[in-house]
Structure 1
């Protein structure tokens, strides 16, 4: 902004402080445009509305206009208030940035399924007693329920649970995870 605009704003603010309502309205209109441009340039990630910064800044200027020194430049004073209001808005928002999930869905990595080879499964089941091996394989490998496994092997559900627990505990010991 050039020196003429600085002088014009200072003249308008002096007249406004002296009671000229028309000058005050003109000052606020020009100041709003300046602060709006400033806020839009500074807000790059979103999460803060530039119009909120404009309104907060104009309100602060209205409340503190008596603190402006009439022979001092007005633009640095306006920018300082706007900068502090912008900082306050970012603090209120916190470190989070809100993004629509649909905008980035393609870039989110899908969790990799942990795969275990047939050889590793066979190795884990090898050290089990035949009854435990069948129960662990039916439930953990084939995905059968306790009830289905009990029916398949002619066992009670309690016996299936005991065999499963003992088999898994044995596998955990074998691979050092007690």
Structure 2
């Protein structure tokens, strides 16, 4: 599937086509993995964080999809979101490598949507139990490190990462179930 198809699918998804949205998200995963690997390599980091960043990027795409300008190609916006999520992780873990930011021209500033995005986030998070919800809110939304959240919750950093992965998978299943029902 070509990048121009992604823009078409995103337009359909923004118009409420859940099938197009699922197709888009599935098509984006290999691209996201490649982009994340590139940035991590340039930063001198290993590949251990690729899946974490891909999941956080997909969540950001979902939450910020209304910020994409329909008249523009999707790929530059998507690459900017991916780069921001990758850099966020690098900052959280204290990476000091250089990352080329020249092609990150899009921003994630959310327009005032009357609180609809916040309601969407709250609806999604309501599918999680209390601890999972706390972990997703703190790591994915507030940008805290797994080590910080683990210290707050009395969990190891690894346990927080595992819980985050499980919570994000649960959100994906819940979102897919709701989309299938629509």
TM-score (norm 1): 0.49
Task: Give the greater-gyration-radius structure (CA).
Answer: 1
* Structure with higher RCO (Cα < 8 A, 6+ apart): 2
